[in-house]
């Protein structure tokens, strides 16, 4: 997929992601819907990327034949999620030298660490990341957290001409209800991050689910239920948590636990569609 600006066609990154888990608001606003049906943009993107995207067997080299005017400037991007990688992609196309500092051992942000693998396979995310890194002079440094391996104030002294902060929001929003601080009550995003990074996360054998509106039922909470143990919330993150059945789960103690879904901005910003 490319966006045309003037006489140039610029490839847009993350098309494989858009073709799988985008909320496709463009289809809701599509004027074709007033005649019969909106154009199925999301399905078309998935069709194309599965056949010719970076994850396919016959990928199209979007960087082939592209001449770049190298600029004498270095840009540091703190965060290797969708925002940081997209910025690095565009900066590289403009000729800048970009270095991405990512705190996690993998790049992709919540695309890798939050969205369940059955919705967005990890090899698809990795292929998209590789395509972005091949755009130009982009260096990716994993396990480099700001404040741990380096300080933001030190980047300028290391020769970077500008610094872009794209650290993301890997945190759930607290609920203003009694009992949320009790032992055994876990935030949905915290659970997903730990499971997707391969850490042990013991939650017991029984899980309490609360589908009431005040516990959140937005896009984020509906992300992954596959008949697994339920979670607090009716939206995408709760279902993503439920879909992680068996991931670091303790089947022996029979304990009861409530998994709290993120609500508000943390849940809705992901924009993932509801399951049919």
Q: What is the mean pLDDT of residues 252-264?
A: 41
Instruction: Inform me whether the pLDDT recorded for 120 exceeds 80.
Output: yes
Confidence class of residue 159 from pLDDT cuts 50, 70 and 90?
very high
Q: Where in the chain is the domain with CATH 3.40.50.720?
A: 2-165
Is there a contact between 267 and 219 (Cβ–Cβ < 8 Å)? yes
The whole-angstrom distance between residue 223's C-alpha and the CA centroid of its chain comes to: 12
Confidence class of residue 71 from pLDDT cuts 50, 70 and 90?
very high
Confidence class of residue 239 from pLDDT cuts 50, 70 and 90?
low
Which range scores top for mean pLDDT: 71-80, 161-170, 252-261? 71-80
Strand intervals (E) in 122-273: 138-141, 162-165, 185-187, 206-208, 256-260
DSSP-derived letter for residue 146 is B
pLDDT given at position 108:
92
pLDDT given at position 209:
57
Neighbours of 191 (CB within 10 A): 23
User: Among 230, 80, 90, 75, which residue's Cα sits nearest to residue 160?
Assistant: 75
User: Among 99, 88, 83, 90, which residue's Cα sits nearest to residue 167?
Assistant: 83
242 versus 33: the higher-pLDDT residue is 33
Q: Rounded CA gap, 157 and 263, in Å?
A: 40
Instruction: Show the DSSP H helices in 94-247 as ranges.
Output: 110-113, 122-133, 152-157, 188-196, 236-242
CATH classification for the domain delimited by 2-165, as one of 3.40.50.2020, 3.90.320.10, 3.40.50.10470, 3.40.50.720:
3.40.50.720
Question: Which tokens go with 107?
Answer: 């790049």
Distances, alpha carbon 254 to alpha carbons 9, 187, 203, 249, 257, in Å: 57, 20, 9, 11, 10
pLDDT given at position 205:
77
68 versus 17: the higher-pLDDT residue is 17
Instruction: Inform me whether the pLDDT recorded for 28 exceeds 50.
Output: yes
pLDDT given at position 228:
33
Instruction: Inform me whether the pLDDT recorded for 175 exceeds 90.
Output: no
Distances, alpha carbon 243 to alpha carbons 22, 39, 155, 221, in Å: 19, 30, 40, 11
Q: Rounded CA gap, 84 and 79, in Å?
A: 5
Instruction: Inform me whether the pLDDT recorded for 7 exceeds 60.
Output: no
Q: Rounded CA gap, 59 and 256, in Å?
A: 47
Instruction: Inform me whether the pLDDT recorded for 125 exceeds 90.
Output: yes
- Let me know how long the chain is: 276
Distances, alpha carbon 198 to alpha carbons 173, 178, 194, in Å: 23, 31, 6
Confidence class of residue 187 from pLDDT cuts 50, 70 and 90?
confident
Residues 259, 123, 59: CA angle, nearest 5 degrees: 145
* pTM of the model as a whole: 0.71
pLDDT given at position 202:
75
Which range scores top for mean pLDDT: 13-17, 72-76, 256-260? 72-76
Mean pLDDT computed over every residue of the chain: 75
């Amino acid at each position: 997929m490319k966006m045309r600006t003037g006489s140039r066609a610029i490839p847009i990154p993350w098309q494989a992601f858009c073709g799988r888990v985008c909320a496709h608001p463009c289809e809701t606003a599509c004027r074709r819907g007033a005649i019969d049906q909106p154009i199925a943009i999301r399905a078309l993107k998935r069709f194309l990327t599965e056949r010719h995207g970076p994850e396919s067997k016959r990928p199209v080299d979007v960087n082939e034949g592209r001449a770049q005017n190298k600029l004498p400037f270095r840009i540091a991007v703190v965060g290797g999620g969708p925002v940081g990688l997209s910025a690095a992609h565009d900066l590289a196309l403009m000729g800048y030298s970009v270095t991405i500092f990512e705190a996690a051992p993998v790049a992709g942000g919540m695309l890798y660490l939050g969205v369940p693998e059955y919705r967005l396979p990890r090899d698809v995310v990795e292929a998209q990341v590789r395509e972005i890194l091949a755009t130009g002079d982009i260096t990716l440094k994993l396990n480099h957290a700001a404040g741990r391996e380096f300080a933001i104030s030190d980047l300028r002294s290391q020769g970077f001409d500008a610094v872009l902060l794209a650290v993301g929001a890997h945190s759930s929003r607290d609920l203003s209800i009694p009992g949320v601080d009790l032992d055994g009550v876990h935030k949905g995003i915290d659970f997903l991050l730990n499971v997707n990074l391969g850490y042990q996360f013991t939650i017991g054998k029984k899980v309490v689910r609360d589908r009431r509106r005040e516990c959140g039922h937005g896009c984020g909470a509906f992300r992954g239920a596959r008949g697994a143990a339920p979670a607090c919330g009716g939206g995408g993150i709760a279902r993503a948590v439920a879909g992680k059945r068996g991931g670091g789960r303790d089947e022996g103690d029979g304990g009861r636990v409530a998994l709290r879904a993120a609500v508000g901005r943390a849940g809705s910003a992901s924009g993932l569609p509801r399951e049919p």
